[in-house]
Structure 1
Amino acid sequence: MPPVPDKLKSDLNRAIHLEWWTLGWQASIVVIMFLVMGSSQAMKSAWTEDLLGLLPATVFLLAVHFERKAPNRRFPYGFQRVNSLAFLASSSVLAFMGLYLLYDSGSKLIAMEHPTLGPLEVFGKTIWIGWAMMAALAYSVVPPVILGRLKKPIAERLKDKVLHTDALMQKADWMTGVAGILGIVGVGFGLWWADSAAAALIAFDIVHDGYRAARVAMAELIDGMPRELGGTAIADDAKALREGLQERFPEAEVRLRETGRYIAAEVVGAEAPTKAVALKDYWAGDPDRAWRLANLSFAPREGA
């Protein structure tokens, strides 16, 4: 697979910087949330999601590191699929952890377990721990809002699913913070179930994000048609490319698969043109995304 085009290198470098900032901010949030977590189920779920928020950024940085390695005898096709493998690993962890939190909070709702939010000693003064919890949750909202908004357009230009999933995770993080604050407020007003209900809502959101991302990652690893960012539908780029190749080779079968942010195409049942044609000339979609077509091969039909 080719390296990232020159016009996108600044975006990739920007994404790398944002992910390092994410790790720093997210680590500070995890520490603060842990210190004031207490027995609140909503705080426990919010802390777990913030902890999981470290995973996509770490996975992205590892994937970029391996993508830059040159092919060798043991890995002649390079390391582009590290992106897909890392994507599957992170999404699977999200889904399973969300299921655990959903079970944990649901069982406490069924058992009608009342959370205890007692006093907290701060600089010699005693305050309700709920205030400290809400302050920590409010702090946990700000960095994800900023970082998520910065990452999303870059992920779109790079067509990077790991970065896009991370941007969605940032959105889930600030929504989690708001839900957690509402849960703590509910407990303060005597609504014992508000804490576990908020935790269940957070857990459901984690499961949804993890399941949707895992479906896309599995489709990519088993050579399925390229999927759109943030969903399981076939990508518009892939549809346009397939239609363009089908028109050019009407008797052939066109197969597309995705490797990281790139697309590989195979035309089965047609002979390769005798005259060399640049890959970008086969691209039928947005010309600015022609770099996504990284490989085009021709193969005879089986049994031919």
Structure 2
Amino acid sequence: MNQRNSHDTAPDNTALDNAALHEANTRAAHRVTLIGAILDTLLGLVKVIAGIIVGSAALVADGIHSFSDLVTDVFVLVATHYGRQAPDRNHPYGHGRIETMGTLALGSVLIFVAGGIAWASLSRLLDGVPIAPPGYWVIALAAVSLIVKEWIFRYTLRVARKIGSRLIEANAWHSRSDALSTVVVLIGLIGAQFGVGWLDAVAAIGVGLLVGKIGGSLLWDATRELVDTALPDDEQRGMRNVALDVPGVRDLHQLRTRSVGERVLLDLHLVVAPRVTVSEAHEVGNQVCRELCRAFPKLSEVTFHIDPQDDSELDDPTQLPALPLRSDVEAMLERVWGNLECWRQRVALDLHYLDNRIDVSLYIGDTYRDADLNRLAASLRDAGASLPWLGRLRVWQGPGKA
């Protein structure tokens, strides 16, 4: 039995709380990105204008870099808007992978930015391009710009980690790359002011390598998510322990996890007592979902499969011999038991598919109050000896289970 449960399986208002939290997180993502976009626009304009006035190519390039942050801010706004939409018919698992793809793109941008910084700086170093003294007011302007970009980075990173968005975190590191490039420009301006302009190129090469490392890390994390990499082993062990603590769960196997954006999806097989009712086994699974979602807030969906016995050692359970289903079973039993009165007057029939056999429980009415149930079971066994799939046979007296 398979069952797919989302976070709303709990009997409280968890689903409503999660929806409100998701909406609040989306608003926070948009707000921090808009603030960054506004500041990037202002910084870009100021740097370009100041660079043109004093003739600093590095400052003009830094201003253009700030404008590139504005482009990525717009991209992030679009990606978070669509990536945090609720699941729909065409995207039943949600749109979280849009954010993952956005992280992949931003990681690539950081690597290109790193390469550009390092290459341009190395070229300046080799060419020995002189830089005229810019003036202390330009140095002060670059210092203020550095402080603002560092604040944007820390604010964006704090929001990203609070709402669990790798895309926003990637954008934060992109802002940090702009701050680092401003550091390079600041060093170059100070060096130029005192006649040591080559410091700019040396520092820029190191910054380029650092930015490239950040971009590579983001690319690696996004790629792992896109190929459905499982959660760390300690988290999987924690999930297993929570599920095993639920009464009615005898064992579990095939626990599989993956991430979709900020959400975590879980599949697992639960082993329950072989003769419990479908509804009881289903409720055991529901309780497992509730406990897991309470213990792991990022877990948004659990798909569980109910097993009456442990089949974890089977390489491919679908290769097991096919047993007849109820309609065929009743037809076969009618053929061999049709002349027996206890069969004709049955009130219920239970089938248990265990160990590649079918155990049969036959319920008879009150007219057999004084009947020898063992004798009836023996006669049924003899009459059904030709059925290769017939396992354990039991006769019960009473209304039975419908």
Range of TM-score over shorter length: 0.7 to 0.9
Using the TM superposition, name which of 48-57 and 217-226 deviates more: 48-57
How far apart, CA to CA, are the structure 2 residues paired with 1:238 and 1:45?
Answer: 47
Shift of 1:258: 0.8
How far apart, CA to CA, are the structure 1 residues paired with 2:250 and 2:122?
Answer: 56
**Contact conserved, 2:88 with 2:94, CA < 8 A, in 1?**
yes
Question: Could you say what secondary structure the match of 2:107 adopts?
Answer: helix
**Contact conserved, 1:41 with 1:196, CA < 8 A, in 2?**
no
Shift of 1:302: 5.6
Shift of 1:281: 0.9
Q: 1:195-274 counterparts in 2 under 5 A?
A: 195-226=200-231, 234=232, 240-241=238-239, 244-245=242-243, 250-267=251-268, 273-274=281-282
How far apart, CA to CA, are the structure 1 residues paired with 2:222 and 2:239?
Answer: 21
Q: Which runs of 5+ in 1 are unaligned?
A: 118-127, 227-233
Aligned twin of 2:301: 295
Aligned twin of 1:6: 20
Aligned twin of 2:361: none
Aligned twin of 1:154: 159
Answering whether residue 142 of structure 2 is matched by residue 137 of structure 1, we say yes
**Contact conserved, 1:252 with 1:269, CA < 8 A, in 2?**
yes
Please report the TM-score for the alignment, with normalisation by the length of structure 2: 0.60
1:165 aligns with one of 160, 164, 170: 170
Answering whether residue 118 of structure 2 is matched by residue 102 of structure 1, we say yes
How far apart, CA to CA, are the structure 1 residues paired with 2:236 and 2:67?
Answer: 35
Aligned partner letter, 1:279: C
Shift of 1:222: 0.8
Using the TM superposition, name which of 81-90 and 28-37 deviates more: 28-37
**Contact conserved, 1:41 with 1:105, CA < 8 A, in 2?**
no
Q: What is the RMSD computed on CA atoms of the aligned residues?
A: 3.4
Using the TM superposition, name which of 237-246 and 150-159 deviates more: 237-246
Change in CA separation of 1:145 and 1:61 when aligned onto 2, cut-off 3 Å? same
Identity over the aligned pairs, expressed in percent?
A: 19
Aligned twin of 1:229: none
Per-residue Cα deviation, 1:34-63 (whole angstroms, up to 9, x for no partner): 234467575366445433433553343212
Question: Could you say what secondary structure the match of 2:282 adopts?
Answer: coil
Change in CA separation of 1:107 and 1:173 when aligned onto 2, cut-off 3 Å? closer
Aligned twin of 1:34: 48
**Contact conserved, 2:29 with 2:80, CA < 8 A, in 1?**
no
Aligned partner letter, 2:260: T
Using the TM superposition, name which of 42-51 and 98-107 deviates more: 42-51
Per-residue Cα deviation, 1:259-279 (whole angstroms, up to 9, x for no partner): 111101122586895212363
Aligned partner letter, 2:282: T
How far apart, CA to CA, are the structure 2 residues paired with 1:96 and 1:249?
Answer: 53
Shift of 1:193: 1.4
Q: Which runs of 5+ in 2 are unaligned?
A: 1-5, 8-14, 273-277, 306-310, 318-402
Shift of 1:9: 4.0
Please report the TM-score for the alignment, with normalisation by the length of structure 1: 0.76
How far apart, CA to CA, are the structure 1 residues paired with 2:36 and 2:123?
Answer: 33
**4+ residue stretches of structure 1 with deviation over 6 A?**
246-249
**Contact conserved, 1:55 with 1:90, CA < 8 A, in 2?**
no
| Structure ranking higher in strand proportion | 2
Aligned twin of 2:130: 115
Change in CA separation of 1:183 and 1:209 when aligned onto 2, cut-off 3 Å? same
How far apart, CA to CA, are the structure 2 residues paired with 1:42 and 1:17?
Answer: 31
